[in-house]
C-alpha cells in the first residue's frame, strides 16, 4: 500500500498498492517486460511525468473505451459524468473551470493540463489504486471505489478509510495531481518534502512492515520522488521476479504496478533520457535570424548546450539558460533557466535552421526542431550625387544598402572610367533609415577627393557584400572642377658651366612657398624652395604674398642640356611643369679659389675649393707650385658645405687642405685645378706667405 507523505496539517493518502497485479490486464509491449529492467531510482522521467498535455480529452476517452469495453453500470469511467467545481490557480495548479456533467475523460485532460501532470500518470494511478481502467472491476465499479479513485487521503493507518472531504472522482483526480506538484516544493510553498529529495540516496521501505527492512535508493529525479511520497515502498526481489503476480510477505506492489501498467499501455516511462524541448526561428532584421525555444536533459537540472545548424552545417553553440517560467511551471524540478535565445548572422535567401540538444549522461544528442526562414537578398541599391565645392576636388554624396546585411556597404567612385576613391557608406541618413526600416541610418555616402581641373564624369558603384547579386551602379554625373594645380613660370641663364634657374610659382591651395624640383635632361638634378621675395608676384596675387620666387644654380657639363622646373602640388590638383629651356655649355675649366698660410714653423698650408663643371661631383687633383717648381699635390675632397649650398649640383666634397714643408722666409705659392675634360687646368690663385 502506498502512502502520501504530507505536512502535519495535510491529509494522508493511501492506495491499494499491497495487492498483486490484476490478471485482467494484457500487456501491449511487443516483448516481455522483465523485473530486471526496473530501476527503483528512476521509475519515470520528469519529461513524461510532467507532460500535462500528453493526451487531450478525445484521446483519453478513446483509451478508456478501449480498455473498459462494455460497461455493466453507469459508474464505469468511459460513461461516468460528474459535476465539477471551479478552482483558482495557485502555486501547484492553474485555474480549473468547473461545469456540470463533465465526462471523466474531460476531467482527466483538464486536470492534467491545469496541474502539469501527464494524463497517462493519472490513468495508471486510477488503475493501480482501484482497478478503474482495465479489467472486470472497471466495467462496473462500486460507488466506494469511485469515492477513493486515486487513493488520495486514504492513509495506511486508517485501515482503508478515507477522508470524505476529498471523496469523488473529480476531487480525487484534482487533489492527487495537485499533490504531485506540491512534492516539488514550488515557489510560494515551504520546503517540506525532503525525505526523497532527488540527487541523493534514501532508505525506502519494502513494505508497511518495518521488519522487512529498507533498500538504499539513489533517487535520480523529482517524478520518481513523487511516486515514493505517494506510495513509500519499493518492490523487493520477490515482487520483481513475478511482475504480474504476487511475491512474498514483504512484497509491496504499488510502484511496481505503476511501472508495469505504464510500460504495457504507453511504453517505457523512462524512455526519454535524451534531451528534449522545442525551437522556433524568425527573422530579426536583414541578415539576422533569432532562434528561440527551450531544451532540457532529464539527467541534469543545469542548462545544456544547444548546437545550431544552418543548411546542414554547424553555425553556433549556445547554452539553453534563458529564463522560461512557462517551462519551469511544467518541469518544476528542472527550474526555469532552460530557454534558447540566440541571434545568427546569415546571408540573404532561404535557410533551414535546426537545433540539437547536446546530451548529458546516458542517451544521445537529439533534434529539438527545425525551421525555415527567408532573408532579403540581392544586389545593393541606392543613389548618388556629385559636386565640386572647391578647386581641385569632387564631393560625392548619396546612399547605398545591401539587402543581405545591416552593415554599411563599400562604395567605389570612378572618374572618367578610372578608380578615384573607395569609401564606406556609413554616414547618418535618417531619411534612409525611415524608408528602409530594419537597416538603420548609417548608409550615407560622404566622400571628398582630389581631382584635376576640368569636366569629368563621376560614377559610384555599390559593392555587393554578401548573398546573391553583384555590384550596382548607383549613378553617374558630370562635374566641372576648377583647377587647383600650381602655376608660375621660369627662365634659365648660363654663366660658364653654371645654369641659374629663376622664376616663381604659387599653389591655389596654400599661401606657403612650394617645393620646386629641377630636372636636367630628364633626370632629377636639384630640389629647392620657391621662397625668394618677388614683390611683383605679391602685387599680382596679393592673397599669396611675395615670397614665391625661385633662384637655383646648377653646374652643367659641357654640351647641350634641357633644364625643366616642376612645382610640387599641395592638396588638390597635380604637380605642374613651370617650363623647360635648352642651354649649351662649352668645355669648362675647373673653378674655385685658394689661400695660403703658415700654421707652424717650416710649413705652409694651402686651402680653398675647386670642381670641374663638366664632372661636378668628382673631387679634382690640385697641384701647388712655387715659381716653376711643384711643391705639393693633393685631392680637393675635404667637406665644404658652403660650396654645396652655392653649387648644389656639385656637392660638398671639393675642399682643398694641404700642408707641406717650406724654408723660412717669404714665398709665393700658386694652386692649379687639374682639368678633367672639355677645358684646361685652371689657376685657382697665387698668394705670398712668410714662413718662420
Angstrom distance (rounded) from CA 490 to CA 505: 9
Using CA atoms, how far residue 49 sits from 298, 336, 525, in Å, is 11, 17, 95
Angstrom distance (rounded) from CA 261 to CA 269: 10
Q: Please name the residues in contact with 630: beta carbons below 8 A apart, sequence gap of 6 or more.
A: 623, 624
E strands present in 89-131:
102-103
Which helix (H) or strand (E) is 596 found in, with range? strand 591-597
Domain topology for 591-691: Immunoglobulin-like (2.60.40)
* 275 close to 357: Cβ distance less than 8 angstroms: yes
The structural domains of the chain, with segments of one domain joined by +, span: 3-266, 276-375, 384-481, 487-585, 591-691
Query: Which residues are bridge partners to 385 per DSSP?
Result: 397
* Beta-sheet strand order (sheet of 305-310): 313-319, 305-310, 349-357, 366-375
- What's the confidence (pLDDT) of residue 94? 95
Whether the model clears a pTM of 0.85, i.e. scores above it, the answer is no
Q: How many CB atoms lie within 10 A of CB 643?
A: 23
Angstrom distance (rounded) from CA 27 to CA 262: 10
Alpha-carbon Rg of the chain, whole angstroms?
Answer: 52
Which helix (H) or strand (E) is 126 found in, with range? helix 119-130
Domain topology for 384-481: Immunoglobulin-like (2.60.40)
* 659 close to 604: Cβ distance less than 8 angstroms: yes
Q: How many CB atoms lie within 10 A of CB 560?
A: 10
Q: How many CB atoms lie within 10 A of CB 312?
A: 7
**495: helix, coil or strand?**
strand
Using CA atoms, how far residue 306 sits from 276, 298, 314, 357, 479, in Å, is 11, 15, 11, 5, 57
Angstrom distance (rounded) from CA 276 to CA 47: 8
- Minimal CA–CA distance to 392: which of 265, 561, 509, 277? 509
Using CA atoms, how far residue 429 sits from 291, 389, 439, 476, in Å, is 30, 21, 11, 21
Query: Which residues are bridge partners to 278 per DSSP?
Result: 294
* 672 close to 594: Cβ distance less than 8 angstroms: no
If you write DSSP's letter for every residue of 185-245 in order, what string do you get?
A: --TTS-----TT-TTEEEEEESSS-GGG-EEEEEE-SHHHHHHHHHS-B---HHHHHTTTS
Angstrom distance (rounded) from CA 139 to CA 69: 7
- What's the confidence (pLDDT) of residue 458? 94
Angstrom distance (rounded) from CA 362 to CA 273: 7
Using CA atoms, how far residue 425 sits from 403, 418, 450, 645, in Å, is 14, 20, 19, 51
Query: Which residues are bridge partners to 280 per DSSP?
Result: 292
Q: What's the CATH number for 487-585?
A: 2.60.40.10
- What's the confidence (pLDDT) of residue 528? 95
- What's the confidence (pLDDT) of residue 637? 96
Kindly tell me the burial class for residue 637, based on how many C-beta atoms sit within 10 Å of its own C-beta (0-12, 13-18, 19 or more).
middle
* 654 close to 610: Cβ distance less than 8 angstroms: yes
Output the 3-class SS for 407-463: CCCEEEEEECCEEEEEEECCEECHHHHHHCCCCCCEEEEEEEEECCCEEEEEEEEEE
- Minimal CA–CA distance to 198: which of 176, 225, 166? 225
Using CA atoms, how far residue 609 sits from 598, 631, 655, 671, 677, in Å, is 18, 18, 4, 10, 18
If you write DSSP's letter for every residue of 649-663 in order, what string do you get?
A: TT-SEEEEEEEEE--
Using CA atoms, how far residue 635 sits from 189, 488, 557, 609, 623, in Å, is 110, 42, 20, 10, 9
Using CA atoms, how far residue 194 sits from 31, 208, 300, in Å, is 37, 20, 18
pLDDT along the chain (692 residues), means of 10: 32 40 40 86 91 94 96 96 96 96 97 96 96 96 94 71 88 96 94 93 95 94 95 96 94 96 90 80 84 89 95 95 89 87 88 93 84 86 87 87 88 94 94 86 91 88 83 92 86 85 90 94 94 91 91 85 93 86 82 91 95 88 95 96 90 95 94 87 93 91
Kindly tell me the burial class for residue 477, based on how many C-beta atoms sit within 10 Å of its own C-beta (0-12, 13-18, 19 or more).
middle
What's the distance, Cα to Cα, between the start and end of the chain in Å? 142
- 487-585 shares the fold of 276-375: yes
Asked if CATH classification 3.10.450.230 holds for the domain at 276-375, the reply, yes or no, is no
* 109 close to 55: Cβ distance less than 8 angstroms: yes
Angle at 67 between CA 64 and CA 72, to 5 degrees: 85
Angstrom distance (rounded) from CA 656 to CA 597: 13
Angstrom distance (rounded) from CA 52 to CA 31: 28
Amino acid at each position: 500500500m502506498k502512502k502520501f507523505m504530507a505536512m502535519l496539517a495535510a491529509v494522508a493518502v493511501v492506495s491499494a498498492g499491497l495487492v498483486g497485479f490484476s490478471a485482467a490486464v494484457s500487456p501491449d509491449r511487443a516483448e516481455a517486460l522483465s523485473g530486471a529492467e526496473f530501476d527503483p531510482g528512476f521509475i519515470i522521467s520528469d519529461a513524461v511525468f510532467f507532460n500535462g498535455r500528453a493526451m487531450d480529452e478525445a484521446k483519453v476517452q478513446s483509451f478508456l473505451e478501449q480498455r473498459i469495453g462494455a460497461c455493466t453500470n453507469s459508474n464505469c469511467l468511459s460513461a461516468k459524468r460528474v459535476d465539477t467545481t471551479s478552482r483558482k490557480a495557485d502555486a501547484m495548479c492553474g485555474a480549473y473551470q468547473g461545469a456540470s456533467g463533465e465526462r471523466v475523460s474531460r476531467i482527466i485532460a483538464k486536470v492534467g493540463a491545469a496541474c502539469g501532470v501527464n494524463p497517462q500518470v493519472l490513468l495508471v494511478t486510477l488503475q493501480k489504486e482501484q482497478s478503474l481502467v482495465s479489467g472486470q472491476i472497471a466495467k462496473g465499479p462500486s460507488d466506494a471505489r469511485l469515492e477513493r479513485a486515486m487513493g488520495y487521503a486514504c492513509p495506511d493507518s486508517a485501515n482503508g478509510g478515507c477522508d470524505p472531504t476529498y471523496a469523488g472522482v473529480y476531487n480525487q483526480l484534482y487533489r492527487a495531481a495537485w499533490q504531485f506538484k506540491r512534492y516539488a516544493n514550488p515557489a510560494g510553498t515551504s520546503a517540506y518534502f525532503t525525505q526523497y529529495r532527488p540527487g541523493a540516496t534514501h532508505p525506502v521501505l519494502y513494505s508497511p512492515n518495518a521488519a522487512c527492512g529498507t533498500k538504499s535508493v539513489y533517487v535520480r529525479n523529482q517524478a520518481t520522488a513523487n511516486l515514493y511520497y505517494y506510495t513509500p515502498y519499493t518492490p523487493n526481489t520477490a515482487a520483481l521476479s513475478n511482475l504480474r503476480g504476487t511475491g512474498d510477505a514483504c512484497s509491496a506492489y504499488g510502484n511496481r504496478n505503476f511501472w508495469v501498467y505504464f510500460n504495457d499501455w504507453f511504453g517505457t516511462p523512462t524512455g526519454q533520457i535524451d534531451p528534449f524541448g522545442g525551437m522556433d526561428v524568425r527573422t530579426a532584421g536583414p541578415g539576422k535570424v533569432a532562434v528561440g525555444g527551450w531544451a532540457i536533459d532529464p539527467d541534469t537540472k543545469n542548462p545544456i548546450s544547444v548546437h545550431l545548424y544552418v543548411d546542414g552545417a554547424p553555425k553556433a553553440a549556445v547554452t539553453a539558460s534563458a529564463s522560461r517560467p512557462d517551462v519551469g511551471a511544467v518541469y518544476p524540478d528542472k527550474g526555469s533557466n532552460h530557454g534558447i535565445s540566440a541571434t545568427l548572422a546569415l546571408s540573404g535567401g532561404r535557410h533551414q535552421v535546426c537545433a540539437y540538444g547536446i546530451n548529458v549522461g546516458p542517451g544521445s544528442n537529439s533534434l529539438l526542431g527545425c525551421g525555415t526562414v527567408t532573408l532579403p537578398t540581392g544586389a545593393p541599391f541606392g543613389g548618388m550625387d556629385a559636386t565640386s565645392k572647391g578647386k581641385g576636388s569632387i564631393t560625392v554624396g548619396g546612399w547605398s544598402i545591401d539587402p543581405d546585411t545591416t552593415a554599411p556597404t563599400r562604395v567605389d567612385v570612378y572618374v572618367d572610367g578610372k578608380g578615384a576613391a573607395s569609401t564606406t557608406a556609413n554616414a547618418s541618413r535618417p531619411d534612409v533609415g525611415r524608408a528602409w526600416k530594419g537597416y538603420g541610418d548609417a548608409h550615407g555616402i560622404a566622400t571628398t577627393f582630389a581631382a584635376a581641373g576640368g569636366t569629368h564624369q563621376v560614377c559610384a558603384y555599390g559593392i555587393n557584400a554578401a548573398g546573391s547579386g553583384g555590384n550596382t551602379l548607383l549613378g553617374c554625373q558630370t562635374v566641372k572642377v576648377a583647377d587647383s594645380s600650381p602655376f608660375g613660370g621660369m627662365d634659365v641663364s648660363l654663366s660658364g658651366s653654371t645654369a641659374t634657374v629663376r622664376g616663381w610659382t604659387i599653389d591655389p591651395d596654400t599661401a606657403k612657398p612650394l617645393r620646386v624640383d629641377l630636372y636636367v635632361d630628364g633626370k632629377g638634378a636639384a630640389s629647392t624652395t620657391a621662397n625668394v621675395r618677388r614683390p611683383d608676384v605679391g602685387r599680382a596675387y596679393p592673397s599669396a604674398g611675395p615670397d614665391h620666387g625661385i633662384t637655383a644654380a646648377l653646374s652643367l657639363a659641357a654640351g647641350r642640356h634641357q633644364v625643366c622646373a616642376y612645382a610640387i602640388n599641395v592638396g588638390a590638383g597635380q604637380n605642374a611643369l613651370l617650363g623647360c629651356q635648352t642651354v649649351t655649355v662649352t668645355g669648362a675649366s675647373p673653378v674655385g679659389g685658394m689661400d695660403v698660410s703658415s700654421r707652424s714653423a717650416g710649413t705652409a698650408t694651402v686651402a680653398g675649393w675647386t670642381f670641374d663643371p663638366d664632372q661636378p661631383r668628382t673631387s679634382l687633383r690640385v697641384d701647388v707650385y712655387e715659381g716653376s717648381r711643384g711643391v705639393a699635390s693633393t685631392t680637393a675632397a675635404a667637406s665644404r658645405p658652403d660650396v654645396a649650398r652655392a653649387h648644389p649640383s656639385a656637392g660638398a666634397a671639393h675642399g682643398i687642405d694641404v700642408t707641406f714643408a717650406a724654408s723660412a722666409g717669404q714665398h709665393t705659392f700658386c694652386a692649379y685645378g687639374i682639368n678633367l675634360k672639355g677645358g684646361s687646368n685652371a689657376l685657382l690663385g697665387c698668394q705670398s706667405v712668410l714662413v718662420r
